[in-house]
Amino acid sequence: MNAQDSDRKDAIASQQPCSHASTQQQLAAVGITSQTNEKPSANSSRSSLTPQPKWMTLELEERGWRRIVQNFTPSWFAVNMATGMVCLVLHAIPYKHRVITVIYTVLFVINVILFAIISFTSLLRYVMYPATWGLMLRHPVQSLFLGCIPMGLTTIINMFIFVCIQEAGWGPWANKLAWVLWWIDVVMAIACACGLPFLMTYVHPTSLSTMTAAWLLPAATPIVTSANGATVASILSNPQHALWTIIVSYVLWGIGLPMALLTLVIYFHRLAMHKLPPREVIVSVFLPLGPLGQGGFSIMNLGKMALEVFPKTGTLHPMAGEILYVSAFFTAIVLWGFGIVWAFFAVASISRSKFPFNMGWWGFTFPTGVFVLSTLQMGEELPSAFFQVLGTVTGVAVIILWFLVAIVTIRRAIAGDVFFAPCLQKVDKANAPGANGSANV
């Protein structure tokens, strides 16, 4: 009996703190902290009395240029990506004309200026409001747009090679500059491809119903950089430098494409179980075209460069370059076919209802643009007039789409409607300037 009484007392004692802890958790979930008679510890008293450091606080700006800077999110780099993609599409169109050359050269200069302005404003945001960096990283969507930074830089490196090196004939220093910029882009691409998915698994609150195709952005980043690697390798005079650029590009392709395919499986499951995304993010259904189109475009160009560089360096078997070149084309056409399915899904999805304008509209241009590049590249390799005409027609559609989105964005930017940071919505507006205090984050 003594043993039973002792067990019963232990059970009662163990239930009381659990019940108390459960109640505390429920109250904390709604922002209420219960009062107890327990004496607070020295550490808790010190933490409640010590004011938050300045860099941990955030005051919401209501007007002026400060509000623009505070609400300047990484999604603005999608503008840079889309503009650069239009340059690349114009350059890739097989029907050359002097006017086209002038247009993509002017757009290239504009894109460089855009990249500088967006980068400076983003840096200014995190210097003036350090707390926005943590809020942005913890946001399940906005943080994914960090992958747009290396992808935007990739378009600039490509056009720098086409315009400044191949057409303008800048000296060897330009080749070295392009190679250095590409290595910087490689570091950023790997950081995004590895770091952002880890944030998704460790920090972000995620569920299948709230998933969007923006999950593909981290995976697409190294694929885009790998395609750029083939272009960079083509201007390097040292065969060994070109060889290592190609090998690293294959590694980047291997990092990005399998992850993108895995994400597409999850995304299709999300569409099947929870139907189409909300109309505010419905344009994200075009994003699957990005890794599929860029994956095919990248592997074809890498195979082409392997065919040229491997014999010069004595790499592997003498036929290794030929094998990679041929297998690359068939890999690309399989990815292209898979992309046709997602293109149908995308067009069918946006045709169901109207959707409001937001910065996500820039998600139209880049993925469809890289799909156009893959189509044109297949037309060049076969060669095939069908793929060249198809790529040109869809390329013109991409250019028109970019122009329309740019017009709407400029109008909304003048009105100030597009400067909106979802990651700041958790900050209590009662603590904005003019209220009694500042929001702690």
Tokens of 9: 């007392």
Q: Where are the domains of the chain?
A: 64-431
Q: How far is residue 203 CA from its own chain's centroid?
A: 18
Helix (H) or strand (E) holding 66: helix 64-70
Tokens of 281: 């993010």
Domain 64-431 in CATH 1.50.10.150? The answer is: yes
Helices 239-274 and 217-233: crossing angle in degrees, nearest 10, is 160
* Residues contacting residue 23 through CB under 8 Å, at least 6 positions apart: 34
Tens place of pLDDT for every residue, the chain, 441 residues?
Answer: 444 444 444 444 444 434 343 333 333 333 333 333 333 343 433 333 445 555 457 788 888 899 999 999 999 999 999 999 999 999 999 988 899 999 999 999 999 999 999 999 999 999 999 999 999 999 988 999 999 999 999 999 999 999 999 999 898 999 999 999 999 999 999 999 999 999 988 888 888 888 888 999 999 999 999 999 999 999 999 999 999 999 999 999 999 999 999 999 999 999 999 988 887 778 889 999 999 999 999 999 999 999 999 999 998 888 999 999 999 999 999 999 999 999 999 999 888 777 777 777 888 889 999 999 999 999 999 999 999 999 999 999 999 999 999 999 999 888 888 888 888 877 754 344 444 333 333
